[in-house]
Amino acid sequence: MFNAITSLFKQLLDGQDLGKHPTSNPNLAIASLLCEVAGADHQIGDAEKTAKKDLLVRLLGISEQESKALLSNAEEKVKESASLYDFTSQLRELSQETRFELIKAMWEVAHADGDIDPLEDAVIRKAAELLYVDHSEFIRAKLSVTGE
């Protein structure tokens, strides 16, 4: 812990911008958010695993094999992460429509097992706030997935 604090102060003294992510990887951030939703209720079923993989193939235009590798990396990042901000801060430059599609994809993962747990809802709500997605768009994404 002392080394982390020392490193932080060294970065401040060197004038580095701590808000920038030198190793920013938007695809990994997107995959990590999908993993966060799936794991929110501590029950990751096969339907959610399949939904995550298929959504990454569709959203990112990658192969199924690349999707599996990306999800594997994302699951590790989620374990190391302190908050959703670690991922959303890398995605704020995306277009409003792309951020909407990401929130919609998060709803698809949450609804893959036929039930949206309140913890999954909370993760998606927080991610939408951090990505500056309007509440009306948050609701529109949910309704487009659930058909309510």
Q: What is the pTM of this model?
A: 0.80
3-state secondary structure 20-85: CCCCCCHHHHHHHHHHHHHHCCCCCCHHHHHHHHHHHHHHHCCCHHHHHHHHHHHHHHHHHCCCCH
With 50 as the cut, is the pLDDT of residue 140 above it? yes
Long-range contacts of 72-80 (CB under 8 A, 24+ apart): 73/28, 73/31, 74/28, 74/31, 74/32, 74/34, 74/35, 75/35, 77/28, 77/32, 78/32, 78/35, 78/36, 78/39
92: pLDDT confidence band, cut at 50, 70 and 90?
Answer: confident
What would the pLDDT profile of 61-86 be if each residue is shown by its tens digit? 899 999 999 999 999 999 888 889 99
Is the pLDDT assigned to residue 119 strictly greater than 60?
A: yes
99 pLDDT band, cuts 50/70/90, is very high
118-136: average pLDDT: 95
Confidence of residue 10 (pLDDT cuts 50, 70, 90): low
Is the pLDDT score of 17 beyond 80? no
Could you give the domains of the chain? 27-146 (1.10.3680.10)
Measure the CA angle with vertex 40, ends 47 and 121; round to 5°. Answer: 90
Please provide the average confidence, as pLDDT, over all residues in the chain: 84
